[in-house]
């Protein structure tokens, strides 16, 4: 058999491709920079091609063939991890490392209620969490950087397997001294002349909320956009306008006496459906479904099913 690249060499290459920096790549791989550089040179010698161009002592860019090799290396590393996961899954359910991606409008509100129970039920589970926008999480999932992703529908999942976790509606958040705060519930017509504050583009909740309330994107106040629900509620407290929040975020973001209140919106439909997604044919499919059960139980407020 001819000489083949080692998993470690491929890991060095993929990490350099992700960081485009020798120093940061070496830190992430827990090796010295000289060790990482030597591993890359060995890989280039083995393949007979230049994979990276060294612009400075630490900064690099990928060559065209380097980009092709990186794509294949990511798939090979993902398959190697799946091989290990297959063996581990037979030993115990939900054990070992599991890399979960989650969007910012779900993670801080759902995970604190589910993680303690997961640790008790599955003490051998090592859960790595990554928070990012949906597009980035799906790309990381496809590349094998993540195992599962907790996202919200509707959204194009790019062929991933998905299991519903639960559905959620939205509420209107407004200043406590606002004239509309005197009403127990609000109608869409009540918001017609109000400045509506939303998350910036890239957050799927922005479109989910507007669609559920039968509003067009033009209704959002483009002059004021936030990067988090916390910032949105602070903007509301400052009197800059009203906003739409997922119901799960209310208890955490709205505090009594904080100057912000919430009201239900009549006629609004379900804003979004939470799903857990993973790659088709994943070796740990059964584990991911167990995780989905735990997340669903936390959202419903019911005990997780015994295993």
Calpha distance 243→198 (Å, rounded): 6
Q: How many CB atoms lie within 10 A of CB 61?
A: 13
Going by pLDDT thresholds of 50, 70 and 90, the confidence category of residue 290 is very high
Indicate if the pLDDT at residue 306 is higher than 60: no
Chain CA centroid to CA 155, Å: 13
As a whole number of angstroms, the longest Cα–Cα distance in the chain is: 78
Which residue in the block uniquely carries the two structure tokens 């058999």? 1
Going by pLDDT thresholds of 50, 70 and 90, the confidence category of residue 199 is confident
Indicate if the pLDDT at residue 227 is higher than 90: no
Cβ atoms 227, 105 nearer than 8 A: no
pLDDT at 65: 94
Upstream peptide bond of 154 is cis (omega within 30 degrees of 0): yes
Going by pLDDT thresholds of 50, 70 and 90, the confidence category of residue 206 is confident
**What are 172's strand-pairing partners?**
244, 263
Calpha distance 279→141 (Å, rounded): 7
For the stretch 136-157, pLDDT in tens is: 999 999 988 899 999 999 888 9
Indicate if the pLDDT at residue 47 is higher than 90: yes
| 263 φ/ψ angles, rounded to the nearest 5 degrees | -135, 140
Which carries the bigger pLDDT value, residue 196 or residue 305?
A: 196
The 3-state DSSP class for residue 42 equals: helix
Of 252, 249, 142, the closest CA to residue 203 belongs to 249
Least confidently predicted of 13-22, 86-95, 120-129, 241-250: 86-95
Indicate if the pLDDT at residue 201 is higher than 80: no
The 3-state DSSP class for residue 255 equals: coil
Calpha distance 18→70 (Å, rounded): 10
Cβ atoms 294, 118 nearer than 8 A: yes
Going by pLDDT thresholds of 50, 70 and 90, the confidence category of residue 89 is low
Going by pLDDT thresholds of 50, 70 and 90, the confidence category of residue 6 is very high
What domains sit in the chain, N to C, each tagged with a CATH number? 7-76 (1.10.10.10), 93-166+273-300 (3.40.190.10), 170-265 (3.40.190.10)
Lateral strand order in the sheet of 196-199:
185-186, 260-265, 170-175, 242-246, 196-199, 220-226
Q: How open is the CA angle 75-76-77, to the nearest 5 degrees? A: 90
For the stretch 94-139, pLDDT in tens is: 888 899 999 999 999 999 989 998 999 888 888 999 999 999 999 9
Indicate if the pLDDT at residue 298 is higher than 70: yes
Indicate if the pLDDT at residue 213 is higher than 80: no
Q: Name the percent of the chain lying above pLDDT 90.
A: 56
Least confidently predicted of 75-79, 197-201, 302-306: 302-306
- E-strand stretches of the chain: 52-54, 60-62, 96-102, 125-131, 148-153, 161-168, 170-175, 185-186, 196-199, 220-226, 242-246, 260-265, 272-278
């Amino acid at each position: 058999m001819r000489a083949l690249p080692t998993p470690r060499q491929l890991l060095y290459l993929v990490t350099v491709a992700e960081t485009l920096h020798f120093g940061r790549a070496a830190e992430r791989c827990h090796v010295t920079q000289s060790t990482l550089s030597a591993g890359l040179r060995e890989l280039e010698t083995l393949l007979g091609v230049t994979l990276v161009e060294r612009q400075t002592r630490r900064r690099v860019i990928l060559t065209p063939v380097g980009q092709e090799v990186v794509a294949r290396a990511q798939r090979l590393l993902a398959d190697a991890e799946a091989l290990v996961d297959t063996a581990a899954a037979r030993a115990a359910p939900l054990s070992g490392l599991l890399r979960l991606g989650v969007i910012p409008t779900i993670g801080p509100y759902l995970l604190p209620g589910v993680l303690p129970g997961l640790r008790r039920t599955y003490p051998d589970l090592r859960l790595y969490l990554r928070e990012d926008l949906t597009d980035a999480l799906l790309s990381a999932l496809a590349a094998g950087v993540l195992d599962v992703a907790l996202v919200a529908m509707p959204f194009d999942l790019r062929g991933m397997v998905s299991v519903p976790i639960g559905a959620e509606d939205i509420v209107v958040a407004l200043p406590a001294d606002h004239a509309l705060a005197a009403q127990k519930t609000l109608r869409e017509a009540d918001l017609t002349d109000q400045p509506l504050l939303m998350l910036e583009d890239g957050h799927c909740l922005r479109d989910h909320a507007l669609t559920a309330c039968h509003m067009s994107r033009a209704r959002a106040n483009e002059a004021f956009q936030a990067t988090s629900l916390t910032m949105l509620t602070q903007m509301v407290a400052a009197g800059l306008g009203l906003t739409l929040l997922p119901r799960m975020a209310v208890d955490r973001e709205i505090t009594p006496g904080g100057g912000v209140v919430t009201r239900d919106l009549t006629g609004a439909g379900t804003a979004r459906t939470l799903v857990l997604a993973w790659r088709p044919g994943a070796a740990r499919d059964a584990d991911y479904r167990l995780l989905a059960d735990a997340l669903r139980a936390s959202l419903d407020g019911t005990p997780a099913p015994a295993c």
